[in-house]
A and B are shown apart, each in its own frame.
Chain A
């Protein structure tokens, strides 16, 4: 069992949990968190290089490193693992954000040990989710990732934390209910197997059932991907969550939604996807513009960012539904890009909030003068978000737009142009915040005594900026990594390229 490299993505977090449970002081906790997440990062980078060399050597299976261990034989439940380029990209994203999140919660208070325990448990679920190719274990890991969120927000949060924690958990659980129904339906109509690769390659699900199961799974995962009108947990949840949790949640957990929509809903049920895509295109198209417009009038930094996430994640689902290689590649790029830059945003907002004790942009101003380092990082994050070339947002969005425009009918094109409009609205709300928060005269005299970023805060933000710039400057590498995954067989079914 331990000969498979993928299993270590679950083993390392479990080891971290054990070590955290016995650590005595802050120093040890930090050491465990940082070492563990560095190990995960190293492992995922190693996996990336190894994967690329395997692909270069001609491995053409849809999933590599596959393995399966029986778990509950009567129902064919296995612990089955396997990865492709997309999962690897997500694994790297998750480990980067776990690492930077650990740095961002350097001084978490109170109960640091418990905080990190739940945080690492959450990541166990995330990593497990991305390596699973068995629907049942995938769902299990999904739930493992969701539940800790309740406690993390409820205990370490701020503002209306009880309400937000309850709301977030209940809404996501509601999504899970749909999802479970869909997954059980897939099991019984997909030849009594939970294995994604087997179902997809055989195209085993009966088309009439697909039309029922596709909306179930798409909505189920879509709730986590902040799809309109199931997105309202996002603003409240993010606003109340502590920094590292916001980072992980917006950076990684929301990606579970997009990844699930792609890997389960579209990958397994292509016919239904083609038939029903238009309904969800309308919903996600609304998300994109609606989220951006809502963000324009918010005054709480975290609300602005939460709505901007609704817009950006809407674009992910929007692109997936375009059902062609280019747009889907763009969707995955957008997941990476959004994950990194939104984590950067939330980290910075946390740092600013930690100093000024307010997130209301009406009560701040001129921070550039007071904390130049944080302010410059904020400007860079904003530029990434509004799609400046050289940073990650641009390449992702452009790939999506080019891909979406491959459809020749008026319906798709009108919605593509609508989605393009978001680049202008995004510029409006980003520059509004930057102008109010960072530039202009200093609003509050008391802020003049505040200090700039500490070394651990710098580590956290600089690491994220480097990643954002790396994707923005060398997009072809990531594009190739992802693109190979869209093996023709998926599209052969629905007759797309």
Chain B
């Protein structure tokens, strides 16, 4: 395939960032917004074209005679050569998952560009906002098409930085500033693990290239056999550390604390970065390195356990939040954990790695319906000027478009057929049950909770009791409603895509079989969740309060997110800041610098003390001379005798 179009996919957003960043101040809001949106629209068309070419053209570069989808490098340029083997290249890799991401990212990004034209209208720094959106799109696209792990790391850092800039977009708000700082530092800490993992892996395998690493992992990894570092097998260590990078970006426990705070950013940003694209980078990383992970089953176990705990934790917390964006944030954490679990249980012997396919499928559908829910939440916040559901209620009458689309999003995430989430979640559950019944039941419970907390906020927002609105809430303007409608349509039909034809572990086609037992159970559980939510929240009543009162400690703990923020606050402020940084700074001033000053003072004192010897008085000199001579005489005499 010719390299021009793939190159343009990366070059247009970067160029748009530079253009809007450097010349944005000179433009009007409208020009900047339209320019940014048009740029993204072009990228959308080009990416669709590329993905279409990849999946359907039948080009032998992309699909073998036997029908296996291949990994194909479109271009690859040397960027930095550390050693002859270890070279960072910047390139463009097309394979089933990167082609899928080429559909997801531009779609959501374009919707967000469009939506923001209405949502951000009149905000100060509108041009800057579009510049950052372009920067983010560039980095995210660069991340998914990376040909080697170091290119991925580079763009990984860049998405982190653009996320920092966008969370802190309202930079005069102290809460936004501290949220952006927190997001960056927590993910940076995770990236430290990622970096060390890359160092270890690349030292032993002498390559960064994904294709070399994943096409025949057994022989590439042979060099790590028996190598240990501080008592651990280096390979296990490397894979767990690389996954730590993914835990940071994908907000897995215990590195999840930045994501709920990241909701301080503008809502469309939350939809783009903190729901649909950047936060799934961790899942994408594990999927990308999956053949290597398969070589180390213990690291996949680790992925599974972290994912399962996170999924349950986030679902419980989501039931007790008041801010609707936080509910959505925790629901995102929980859903990403579903994808992680799915990867953790994927094994070639269990339905030909169904977990891998299911995870990618869920990534795809989740991106659509979660972006929809966030954009819907944005429309609600825009209408009532508050993030809390306590300021909402009965909105179905005033905001019909938002209501219907939000309902579709809720049905999709709850896993009700025929909406998209049902199909992908069902595949995940089949894979998990295939691996172990225990984790299967665990994840089914989480699925039930998902349905409950989503319909909890649905009923509280659109039914419940109507508060006094200062002015009549209404649907957003057309540029805001259009993305909602499109995404709702996609969320309705996306489940019918034969995903197994497009994305599977080794590119072979996989026929999805509906497992009616698992499907039946999960739908039943979801319906229970929904009806329970309906029972509690349809009309104003005191059942929710009584229920919360009956186990107040649990409600409070969940509402405070099980005190993770307090724990982190304690560690960072009390231990690291007051316990390490301050003592070191004191030590530097008092001990190190003190000893240098002490040296100077001693020198000074000594010279003051002996300067009297140079008094200039002849009598004193003669006296000293005589004493000296006498002493010498005594010593000589003593020695001679």
Tell which of A232, A290, A388, A431 touches B157, judged by Cβ atoms closer than 8 Å: A388
Q: How far is the CB of B229 from chain A (nearest CB, A)?
A: 7
Tell whether A25 is near chain B: CB-to-CB under 8 Å: no
Tell which of B82, B181, B203, B593 touches A232, judged by Cβ atoms closer than 8 Å: B593
Interface of A is mostly: helix
Q: Do B82 and A326 have beta carbons less than 8 Å apart?
A: yes
Q: Do A388 and B588 have beta carbons less than 8 Å apart?
A: no
A 407-444 to B, binary, CB cutoff 8 A, 1 in contact else 0: 00010011011001101100110011001001111000
Question: Please, how many angstroms separate the alpha-carbon atoms of A396 and B203 in the complex?
Answer: 18
Q: Residue among B172, B229, B577 with the most chain A CB within 10 A?
A: B172
Question: Please, how many angstroms separate the alpha-carbon atoms of A479 and B80 in the complex?
Answer: 8
Name B172-196 residues within 8 Å CB distance of A. 172-174, 177-178, 180-181, 184-185, 188-189, 191-192, 195-196
Interface of B is mostly: helix
Q: Do B192 and A394 have beta carbons less than 8 Å apart?
A: no
Tell whether B199 is near chain A: CB-to-CB under 8 Å: yes
Q: Do B154 and A405 have beta carbons less than 8 Å apart?
A: no
Q: Do A427 and B188 have beta carbons less than 8 Å apart?
A: yes
- Contacts A389-B158, A406-B203, A431-B184; is A171 near B174 (CB within 8 Å)? no
Q: Do A431 and B185 have beta carbons less than 8 Å apart?
A: yes
Q: How far is the CB of A157 from chain B (nearest CB, A)?
A: 18
Q: Do B596 and A475 have beta carbons less than 8 Å apart?
A: no
Complex contacts, A403 vs chain B, CB 8 Å: 82
- Contacts A296-B581, A424-B192; is A476 near B185 (CB within 8 Å)? no
Q: Do B172 and A170 have beta carbons less than 8 Å apart?
A: no
Tell which of A229, A424, A428, A439 touches B177, judged by Cβ atoms closer than 8 Å: A439
Q: Do B199 and A401 have beta carbons less than 8 Å apart?
A: yes
Tell whether B584 is near chain A: CB-to-CB under 8 Å: yes
Q: How far is the CB of A27 from chain B (nearest CB, A)?
A: 32
Q: Do B188 and A423 have beta carbons less than 8 Å apart?
A: yes
Q: How far is the CB of A471 from chain B (nearest CB, A)?
A: 11
Tell whether B79 is near chain A: CB-to-CB under 8 Å: yes
Across the two chains, which residue of chain A brings its CB closest to B25? A372
Question: Please, how many angstroms separate the alpha-carbon atoms of A424 and B185 in the complex?
Answer: 7
Q: Do B82 and A424 have beta carbons less than 8 Å apart?
A: no
- Contacts A366-B172, A424-B192; is A232 near B596 (CB within 8 Å)? yes
Q: Residue among A387, A395, A398, A416 with the most chain B CB within 10 A?
A: A398
Across the two chains, which residue of chain A brings its CB closest to B168? A439
Q: Do B581 and A294 have beta carbons less than 8 Å apart?
A: yes
Name B188-227 residues within 8 Å CB distance of A. 188-189, 191-192, 195-196, 199-200, 202-203
Q: Do B230 and A294 have beta carbons less than 8 Å apart?
A: no
Across the two chains, which residue of chain B brings its CB closest to A298? B585
Tell whether A137 is near chain B: CB-to-CB under 8 Å: no
Tell whether A390 is near chain B: CB-to-CB under 8 Å: yes
Complex contacts, B150 vs chain A, CB 8 Å: 398
Complex contacts, A476 vs chain B, CB 8 Å: 78-81
Name A326-373 residues within 8 Å CB distance of B. 326, 366, 368-369
Question: Please, how many angstroms separate the alpha-carbon atoms of A167 and B596 in the complex?
Answer: 9
Q: Residue among A167, A386, A417, A427 with the most chain B CB within 10 A?
A: A427
Question: Please, how many angstroms separate the alpha-carbon atoms of A110 and B196 in the complex?
Answer: 51
Q: Do B588 and A439 have beta carbons less than 8 Å apart?
A: no
Question: Please, how many angstroms separate the alpha-carbon atoms of A414 and B154 in the complex?
Answer: 24
- Contacts A424-B188, A440-B171, A440-B177; is A475 near B584 (CB within 8 Å)? no
- Contacts A395-B80, A427-B188, A432-B181; is A410 near B229 (CB within 8 Å)? yes
Tell which of A414, A424, A441 touches B172, judged by Cβ atoms closer than 8 Å: A441
- Contacts A401-B199, A403-B82, A410-B230; is A423 near B192 (CB within 8 Å)? yes
Tell which of B82, B185, B577 touches A427, judged by Cβ atoms closer than 8 Å: B185
Q: How far is the CB of A272 from chain B (nearest CB, A)?
A: 26
Tell whether B592 is near chain A: CB-to-CB under 8 Å: yes
Tell whether A450 is near chain B: CB-to-CB under 8 Å: no
Tell whether A293 is near chain B: CB-to-CB under 8 Å: yes
Q: Do A435 and B83 have beta carbons less than 8 Å apart?
A: no
Q: How far is the CB of A295 from chain B (nearest CB, A)?
A: 9
Tell which of B203, B584, B596 touches A290, judged by Cβ atoms closer than 8 Å: B584
Tell whether A399 is near chain B: CB-to-CB under 8 Å: yes
Question: Please, how many angstroms separate the alpha-carbon atoms of A401 and B82 in the complex?
Answer: 10
Q: How far is the CB of A321 from chain B (nearest CB, A)?
A: 18
Name B63-87 residues within 8 Å CB distance of A. 78-83, 86
Q: Do A420 and B80 have beta carbons less than 8 Å apart?
A: no
Name B581-612 residues within 8 Å CB distance of A. 581-582, 584-585, 588, 592-593, 596, 600
- Contacts A402-B202, A420-B195; is A294 near B596 (CB within 8 Å)? no
Question: Please, how many angstroms separate the alpha-carbon atoms of A494 and B420 in the complex?
Answer: 64
- Contacts A290-B588, A366-B172; is A435 near B195 (CB within 8 Å)? no
Tell whether A181 is near chain B: CB-to-CB under 8 Å: no
Across the two chains, which residue of chain A brings its CB closest to B227? A408
Tell whether B45 is near chain A: CB-to-CB under 8 Å: no
B 422-433 to A, binary, CB cutoff 8 A, 1 in contact else 0: 000000000000
Q: How far is the CB of B294 from chain A (nearest CB, A)?
A: 25
Complex contacts, B202 vs chain A, CB 8 Å: 402
Q: Do B584 and A479 have beta carbons less than 8 Å apart?
A: no
Tell whether A297 is near chain B: CB-to-CB under 8 Å: yes
Q: Do B174 and A475 have beta carbons less than 8 Å apart?
A: no
Q: Report 20 cross-chain contacts, Cβ distance below 8 Å, ordered by A residue.
A: A228-B592, A232-B588, A298-B585, A366-B172, A368-B171, A369-B172, A398-B82, A399-B80, A405-B203, A414-B230, A416-B199, A420-B199, A423-B192, A423-B195, A427-B184, A427-B188, A435-B177, A435-B180, A440-B172, A475-B80
Q: Known pairs A405-B199, A440-B172. 19 more at Cβ < 8 A? A: A229-B592, A293-B584, A294-B584, A296-B581, A297-B577, A297-B582, A366-B172, A389-B155, A390-B158, A403-B82, A406-B203, A421-B192, A424-B188, A428-B185, A431-B181, A439-B177, A440-B173, A440-B174, A475-B80
